[in-house]
Structure 1
Amino acid sequence: MLRSIILITLLISSVCALQWDMHKEESRNELEESSGEIPTEQLPGVCWACKWAMKKLKRRISNGATPDDIKQKLGTVCDEIGFLKSLCRKIVNKYTDTLVEELSTTDDPRTICINITVCKK
């Protein structure tokens, strides 16, 4: 009887340990897949940072600005945002080409951020 109890306990422990290892591996894979991704509409401040940067850029970009001028200004706008600098840079790096196109239009900052899906409609 005691032998059966010990055997069942070991079996249950092994299954629990295996399940725990599988759970840890899944969590690690999820973190690796999500690293570098912009948590659109999840992190507080993402939409605000985008609108702030687009507002600054809209003021600085003239009507005749070339795509290279816009890219240059995109590269420096995040330096002024303070503690959201890294978040701003992720947005700019991920959407550079789209932002160059959007900033060439008459869209307002909120519309631009909605179009790149970092703000809700």
Structure 2
Amino acid sequence: MLRNIILVTLLISSVCAFHWEMHKEEFNGNEIEGGSGDNQTEQLPGMCWACKWAMKKVKSRISNGATTDDIKNKLSMICDEIGFLKSMCRKFVTKYTDTLVEELSTTDDARTICANIGVCKKRALRN
């Protein structure tokens, strides 16, 4: 039983490592870009989730009158809390700092912010 658990754990770890290596090449040059036009999609798996998670956390920690420096400080610290996605988060924040500061200064929710910068799909308008 214990042997099977160890084997399954090793298999899962290997698959995750392989998956990460596949996407590492795309990511090495800070290539976190959405698609183009109205059909924007996330480039890296989990990027939309990570963006929404980080934006919700930062939004909850800034006040309505937060300065640009306050927001930048919160953004720089949030990635330390995301675990194994820390490196991806830091590259994302570095690339989009100015845009994120501007977006976080609005009343937009986390999903809207992440869609506006192109890492989440935009919701279709309903009539």
What TM-score do the two structures reach when normalised by structure 2? 0.67
How many Å separate the matches in 1 of 2:77 and 2:46? 19
Residue 111, structure 1, aligned to residue 105, structure 2: no
Q: Quick one: which of 21, 25, 35 aligns to 2:29?
A: 35
DSSP-derived class of the 1:57 partner: helix
In the alignment, which residue of structure 1 is the partner of 2:96? 95
Between the aligned residues of both structures, percent identity stands at: 78
The CA distance in 1 between the partners of 2:97 and 2:61, in whole Å, is 17
Which deviations, in whole Å up to 9, do the C-alpha atoms of 1:12-51 show, x marking residues without a partner? xxxxxxxxxxxxxxxxxxx69x722115413211000000
Letter in 2 for 1:92: V
TM-score (norm 1): 0.70
Counterpart position of 1:14 = none
Unpaired runs of 5+ residues, structure 2, are 1-24, 35-41, 123-127
SS at match of 2:121: coil
1:10 alignment partner in structure 2: none
Q: Which runs of 5+ in 1 are unaligned?
A: 1-30
After the TM superposition, which segments of 4 or more aligned residues of structure 1 sit over 4 Å from their partners? none
Q: CA RMSD in A?
A: 1.9
Mapping of 1:79-94 within 5 angstroms? 79-94=80-95
Aligned to 1:37, the other structure's residue is in SS state coil
1:63 alignment counterpart? 64
Higher helix share: 1
Count of aligned pairs between the two proteins: 91
Between structure 1 and structure 2, the one with the greater Rg is: 1
> Equivalent residue of 2:118, what SS?
coil
Distance 2:57 2:49 in 1: 12
Distance (whole Å) between structure 2 residues aligned to residue 43 and residue 113 of structure 1: 13
